[in-house]
Amino acid sequence: MELEETPTRLRNKPTWLISKAAVRAHRLIGEAMAAVDGRAYHFAILAALDEFGPDSQVRIGRRCGIDQSDMHAMLGELTAQGHVARTSDPSDRRRNLITVTPSGRQRLEELDSTLSTVQNDLLVALSATDRKQLATLLARVLE
């Protein structure tokens, strides 16, 4: 897409620009993750477990904005790969706790590195200060 060929009224609408940037980011992330046999959801789940510790499937899904049907599939993949483990919750035996494994922590670092490359590719035109300001502004919009 050539931005200069886009009508000025569109180019001046932040919502339009955010939408186009999100589509591009999603494509770049998908391509990069596929190249390392990963998924963005894997990164999100592993990052949540790394930061917040063991938790239920439902809470992890809520934290990451992942639908429960997708969570079930992603946890199945991560479990089969040895990146997470399911254990009974000692406070409620009806519930499972999902825990990141040492292999999962290593995989998280690999996926994080892949995503950092995507960030750099996507935001190459921005300085470090601009990138920080963009992240701050977008976080404010989402609050």
Contacts of 11 (CB under 8 A, 6+ apart): 3, 17
What integer pLDDT is reported at residue 6 of this predicted model?
Answer: 87
What CA dihedral angle connects 64, 76, 73 and 86, to 10 degrees? Answer: -50
pLDDT at 7 (0 to 100): 92
Dist. CA 45–CA 43, nearest whole Å: 6
pTM of the entire predicted model: 0.87
Instruction: Round to whole Å and give the CA distance between 40 and 38.
Output: 7
Dig out the tokens for 15 from the structure. 């919502």
Distance (Å, rounded) from C-alpha 75 to C-alpha 45? 8
Q: Is CATH 2.40.170.20 the right assignment for the domain spanning 14-117?
A: no
The pLDDT assigned to 1 comes to 61
Return the closest-CA partner of residue 100 out of 33, 36, 47, 39: 47
Specify the pLDDT at position 96. Answer: 85
Neighbouring CB atoms inside 10 A of 104's CB total: 23
* Domain locations in the chain as residue ranges: 14-117
User: How much is the pLDDT for 2?
Assistant: 74
Low-confidence stretches of the chain (pLDDT < 50) are: none
Q: What is residue 89's predicted lDDT score, i.e. its pLDDT? A: 79
SS3 assignment, position 47: helix
Q: Are 44 and 66 in contact (CB under 8 A)?
A: yes
Tokens of 104: 């999962």
Q: What is the pLDDT of residue 90?
A: 83
